[in-house]
Structure 1
Amino acid sequence: MKRTRLALALLFAACPGGCNLSGTSVYLACPEKCKDDPDPDACIAECGTCKGQCVDPTPEGFDGPALLWVGRTVDEPQCPDSAPVTVYTGHETLDDPIVCSPCRCSESICALPEGLTMAPSARCEGAGIPLNRTLDVLNGACVVPSEHFVSDHKALLLGSPRFMPCKASVEPPPVPRILFPRWYRSGKACAGVTRKETCGAPKTCVPAEQMREFSLCIMHLGEGEVTCPQDYPEQVVLYDGMEDERRCTPCECGPPTGGECSLALLSYRDAACSDLLGAGAASEKDPGCLAPTPGVQPKSMKAVWHINEPGRCEPSGGELEGEVILTGPSTFCCKTRPDRNNN
């Protein structure tokens, strides 16, 4: 909101010889206006005629009168010649939509179990003893195990593979739209020189509505409830600005569903992972067991994915919440609505 009291603009522009300042109006006395005119009598005679409109004094608590325009921000006109000074600008309707980008989730890929353990027996029963440096086996490499790693009378326990959590993200933003002013509709109040002596006390001569989209209004600039008087029945509320408290909720992903992970642990008679000795499988639901072959100790081992189907997660979030709070309201009470021909 911008408000000019005319303390300087009208005072210097319209009152080089002196005048009285009140509210948003400058009251200019005809003798002062005409004292330097080549024909003072003719000037005073013309000055004594109201070329605008005679109105009653502005009610207490209001400023003005002034000519108010309200309409599309892009259509804002210049102030009319009869009221050349802008004394207020504000806003009525916001045009600043927020569209939240859709949320999406990455696939939930199968992840290897944390490691292998040595079972206390050949039946995969009981708590196992963790084996060090088993990651190469689980990563699919053909590994020649050390003596302490395998046994022909103890089983190897393979933990369950698991789904990795999905990662949340947003869809790429759309192609930028053409930018317009954030405010769709705005208002502008204009004022000029007024004269008291041309209408007879207590009325005052004010500028006429020379442009149809302007209306004569009085102004209550600031907070608080306002009841418009009978002479100015049409109420228009304009705002200084806004506090934008809108935001998009964060994107999140639900638990993985629909995938399947199954890992096979293979042992071989040779050191090149070519002569299969035994196999055990583990899924995301059940751990696996590679049972020993009595009398035969594996010479090599590796793990391979039997089934590796990523899971999918349901995205959530990306919802608009909050609101725009309009701030700095000012109330105008008008003879007629200034936007009657400017929708």
Structure 2
Amino acid sequence: MVIYTCENPDLDHKDKDGNPDPCHENDEKKPMACGAACADVVLGVKAVPVALWFGKERALPACPKSMPKADFNGGAGILAPYACPECRCTEPVCTFGPVVALGGDACTGPVLGAADPPPAWDGACQTSSIPISNVGSYSFEPTGVTGCAVAEDPLPPPPHFGSSSMWETTARACRHADDAMCPPGEPCGIREEELPSGFRSCVRLEGATPEGAACPAGFPESFVFYADVDEGRECTPCECAPAGDAVCLSVVSLHEQADCGDAPMIAAPVDELGSCADPGMAYNGQGVAASWVQNEPGTCIASGGAVTGEIKAIEPAVFCCKSVHGDESPGRPPGDSSPF
């Protein structure tokens, strides 16, 4: 049994002296570390020989055994939708205001005390702390509207950076495990017979950018793919505000009994402007109660939740490929040919 030093010996190949050389070990201008996988093409640029696949499929094909190393995974044409959550508000609620005892008539003079309703007060009788003497008037503070708060403001799910699902066209380049690099002027490239179905014989220009690279002769078709994205999008924060259509009209009553079981000494209508009442006589206030005449808190207006910013493809890779139609015209800048 004959053991060869290369994977795919060329049994009919002879060196310049006519001796059998199935692994091309004695070739002149032998490509550096490229082995039998190399095709005879003078590049004139620094590049990596690869087998390039691209298509609309979401699943990337596996690299073949002869070229097991994935040199590049990425794509072109970003398909990464960014949906902001719908902004929602809590329901608005009409609220009662406090009752303030003042030292002067017509709601003037110093503040002597106040009966502040508890949070979410429904108007049921509450013990009052309003002072008994020297009260000149009572200010029934305006009704209000609470609620209209942001119900939830979740962040959108982060996109899967670098995944095949984010590209309109996905791409994979495979190379030999020996990390072969085509030096300038050396013949190198993937042999056509080594290409798996759907792959093309190409080179990846080392360190090239789409703007400044030119494809070498023999590899005239250029393609640019990107390895990742720079996500600069975000959602504007949600905000809520009353629409201004609320009608909250109440009657607030002051009682001498702490349980409000007696007839009110004062019963004042109170709306969004408030009201003022003169006791007219000494008042031994012990309880305060309220009820709604018109309880229409209106609506809330939600705003925000809009997408701002942009997403950009980054980390470009420039590939130059042999023409599938045999067009080996002189090289041209990447961008003249596109799979999209």
TM range (shorter): 0.5 to 0.7
Q: TM-score, normalised by structure 2?
A: 0.67
- Aligned-CA RMSD value: 4.6
The CA distance in 2 between the partners of 1:143 and 1:80, in whole Å, is: 82
In structure 2, the residue corresponding to 1:336 is in which secondary structure?
Answer: coil
Q: 1:69 to 1:273 in 2, by over 3 A?
A: same
Map of 1:57 onto structure 2? 42
The count of residues paired between Structure 1 and Structure 2 equals: 293
The CA distance in 2 between the partners of 1:193 and 1:67, in whole Å, is: 13
Which residue among 292, 305, 311 is the counterpart of 2:298? 311
Deviations 1:136-189 (A, max 9, x none): 7x87354676894367x83311111222262113488999xxxx8543443222
2:72 corresponds to 1:89:
yes
In structure 2, the residue corresponding to 1:131 is in which secondary structure?
Answer: strand
Which residue among 200, 214, 221 is the counterpart of 1:234? 221
Q: 1:193 to 1:141 in 2, by over 3 A?
A: closer
Q: Is the 1:217–1:232 contact (alpha carbons within 8 Å) kept by the matching residues of 2?
A: yes
**Identical-pair percentage:** 22
**Shift in Å, 1:89:** 1.9
Matches within 5 A, 1:1-343: 17=5, 41=20, 54-64=39-49, 66-72=50-56, 74-80=58-64, 83-93=66-76, 94-121=78-105, 124-132=106-114, 134-135=116-117, 140-142=123-125, 148-149=131-132, 154-164=136-146, 166-170=148-152, 181-184=164-167, 185-191=169-175, 206-208=190-192, 210-224=195-209, 225-268=212-255, 272-284=260-272, 286-294=273-281, 297=283, 301-306=287-292, 307-336=294-323
Map of 2:333 onto structure 1? none
Deviations 1:245-281 (A, max 9, x none): 2221111123442112223222457664342443212
The CA distance in 2 between the partners of 1:204 and 1:237, in whole Å, is: 21
Q: Is the 2:101–2:136 contact (alpha carbons within 8 Å) kept by the matching residues of 1?
A: no
Q: Is the 1:240–1:327 contact (alpha carbons within 8 Å) kept by the matching residues of 2?
A: yes
Q: In the alignment, residue 230 of structure 2 is paired with which amino acid?
A: E
The CA distance in 1 between the partners of 2:319 and 2:130, in whole Å, is: 93
Q: In the alignment, residue 281 of structure 1 is paired with which amino acid?
A: P
Q: 1:241 to 1:287 in 2, by over 3 A?
A: same
Q: Is the 1:280–1:291 contact (alpha carbons within 8 Å) kept by the matching residues of 2?
A: no
In structure 1, the residue corresponding to 2:323 is in which secondary structure?
Answer: coil
Which structure carries more helix by proportion?
1
Q: 1:55 to 1:305 in 2, by over 3 A?
A: farther
The CA distance in 2 between the partners of 1:333 and 1:44, in whole Å, is: 27
Q: 1:75 to 1:173 in 2, by over 3 A?
A: same
Deviations 1:106-127 (A, max 9, x none): 1232233244122512xx2534
Q: In the alignment, residue 123 of structure 2 is paired with which amino acid?
A: G
Q: Is the 1:251–1:316 contact (alpha carbons within 8 Å) kept by the matching residues of 2?
A: yes
**Shift in Å, 1:53:** 8.8
Q: 1:80 to 1:269 in 2, by over 3 A?
A: closer
Q: In the alignment, residue 273 of structure 1 is paired with which amino acid?
A: G
The CA distance in 1 between the partners of 2:208 and 2:188, in whole Å, is: 27
In structure 1, the residue corresponding to 2:300 is in which secondary structure?
Answer: coil
In structure 2, the residue corresponding to 1:314 is in which secondary structure?
Answer: strand
Q: In the alignment, residue 241 of structure 2 is paired with which amino acid?
A: G
Q: TM-score, normalised by structure 1?
A: 0.66
Deviations 1:272-297 (A, max 9, x none): 4342443212211x221233245x74
Deviations 1:25-73 (A, max 9, x none): x9x9979x99xxxxx959589x99xx98954212223332x32111245
Q: In the alignment, residue 112 of structure 1 is paired with which amino acid?
A: F
The CA distance in 1 between the partners of 2:130 and 2:175, in whole Å, is: 100
In structure 1, the residue corresponding to 2:148 is in which secondary structure?
Answer: coil
